[in-house]
């Protein structure tokens, strides 16, 4: 087993035992999917415009989850190591700085995308079963491109910001508060889509993807610089 995989397994094993992390990773998606389904089925025989709005709102959740889930995991995966003073013994092993960084980042991004897309699948399935296929016609190519194409970029942004903030924060609560602005890029498409309603086109999404890639590169660059052995042991608080 390579070291990256060893680290990932450890991260997930620890996360599974952390109530705060489980809340973000499991309860939140269940809650969001649950309420959307409830609203949409309740409005089933009502105003079609209202239905469209409800459906679009539900779709936006799948752009928020990829930012919120990595935040929940990454805060505890980094602040947790600090609080338990495990970073030094960990860094004393032959693990490389890159392996540590990638392990921490992937431990957050991978479950976030899996949970997000799985929730999306469950959502579509429930709509199909409970409502029939009417609102599914609203599921346009730009929406699908956003949910599948932008999610990884949003998750990377969130994890990068959270890793930077967590390396500086003294406790999980503070890290949580300061990291929460990582959700903003997830809200941008949300705002644009909600003002334009269904008129979201691929150009807009391509533009957003491009911007996100640029921002991601910048954020990850700083995060990687912070995740050097020397930095962690001498500069982190």
Partner 1 sequence: MITARGLTRRFGDLVAVDSLDLHIDKGEVFGFLGPNGAGKTTTVRMLSSLIAPTSGSASIGGTPLGRDNRSIRQRVGVLTETPGLYKRLSAWDNLMFFARLYGINDAEKQAEKYLKMFELWDRRNGLAGSFSKGMRQKLALARALLHEPEILFLDEPTAGLDPEAAKTVRDLIESLKSEERTIFLCTHNLDEADRLCDRIALFKTKLLTVGDPQSLKEKMYGRRTVVHLANPRSGIEDALNLPFITKTEWVNGRLLVSLSDPETENPTLVRRLVELGADVQFVNELRISLEDLYLDLMEGNHESA
**Residue closer to partner 1, measured from CB, 78 or 154:** 78
User: In degrees, to the nearest 5, what angle opens at C-alpha 27 toward C-alphas 25 and 29?
Assistant: 70
Q: Which stretch binds partner 1 (CB under 8 A): 34-42, 84-92, 111-119, 187-195?
A: 84-92
Kindly state whether residue 237 participates in binding partner 1, applying the rule CB under 8 A. no
What is the rounded distance in angstroms from the CA atom of residue 183 to the CA atom of residue 101?
A: 21
Which tokens go with 19?
């109530």
Kindly state whether residue 180 participates in binding partner 1, applying the rule CB under 8 A. no
What is the rounded distance in angstroms from the CA atom of residue 12 to the CA atom of residue 15?
A: 5
Which one among 38, 42, 50, 93 touches partner 1, defined by CB under 8 A? 93
What is the rounded distance in angstroms from the CA atom of residue 110 to the CA atom of residue 45?
A: 38
Q: Which stretch binds partner 1 (CB under 8 A): 5-13, 40-48, 137-145, 208-216?
A: 5-13
Kindly state whether residue 229 participates in binding partner 1, applying the rule CB under 8 A. yes
Query: Position of tokens 């013994």?
Result: 89
Count of C-beta atoms within a 10 Å radius of residue 184: 13
The distance of closest approach from Cβ of residue 108 to partner 1 in the complex, given in angstroms and rounded to an integer, is 17
The distance of closest approach from Cβ of residue 55 to partner 1 in the complex, given in angstroms and rounded to an integer, is 40
Name residues whose C-beta falls within 8 Å of residue 95's C-beta, 6 or more positions apart in sequence: 3, 7
Total chain residues near partner 1 (CB under 8 A): 26
Q: Which stretch binds partner 1 (CB under 8 A): 2-10, 57-65, 157-165, 189-197?
A: 2-10
> Which of positions 114-173 make contact with partner 1 (CB under 8 A)?
none
Phi, psi of 222 (to 5 degrees): -65, -40
Kindly state whether residue 233 participates in binding partner 1, applying the rule CB under 8 A. yes
Name residues whose C-beta falls within 8 Å of residue 106's C-beta, 6 or more positions apart in sequence: 4, 8
> Which of positions 41-70 make contact with partner 1 (CB under 8 A)?
none
What is the rounded distance in angstroms from the CA atom of residue 54 to the CA atom of residue 68?
A: 21
Task: List residues near partner 1 by CB under 8 A.
Answer: 1, 3, 6-7, 10, 13-14, 17-18, 84-96, 229-230, 233-234
């Amino acid at each position: 087993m390579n070291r990256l995989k060893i680290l990932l397994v450890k991260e997930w094993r620890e996360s599974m035992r952390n109530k705060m992390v489980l809340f973000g990773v499991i309860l939140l998606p269940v809650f969001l999917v649950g309420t959307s389904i409830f609203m949409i089925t309740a409005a089933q025989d009502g105003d079609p415009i209202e239905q469209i709005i409800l459906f679009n709102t539900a779709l936006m959740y799948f752009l928020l989850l990829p930012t919120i889930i990595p935040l929940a995991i990454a805060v505890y995966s980094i602040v947790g190591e600090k609080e338990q003073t495990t970073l030094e013994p960990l860094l004393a092993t032959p693990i490389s700085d890159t392996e540590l960084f990638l392990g921490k980042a992937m431990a957050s991004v991978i479950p976030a995308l899996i949970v997000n897309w799985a929730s999306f699948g469950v959502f579509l399935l429930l709509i199909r079963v409970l409502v029939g296929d009417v609102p599914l016609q609203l599921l346009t190519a730009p929406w699908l491109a956003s949910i599948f194409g932008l999610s990884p970029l949003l998750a990377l942004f969130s994890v990068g910001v959270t890793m930077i903030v967590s390396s500086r924060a003294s406790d999980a609560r503070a890290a949580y508060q300061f990291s929460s602005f990582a959700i903003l890029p997830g809200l941008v498409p949300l705002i644009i889509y909600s003002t334009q309603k269904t008129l979201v086109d691929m150009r807009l999404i391509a533009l957003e993807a491009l911007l996100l890639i640029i921002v991601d590169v910048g954020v990850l660059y700083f995060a990687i610089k912070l995740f050097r052995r020397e930095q962690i042991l001498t500069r982190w608080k």
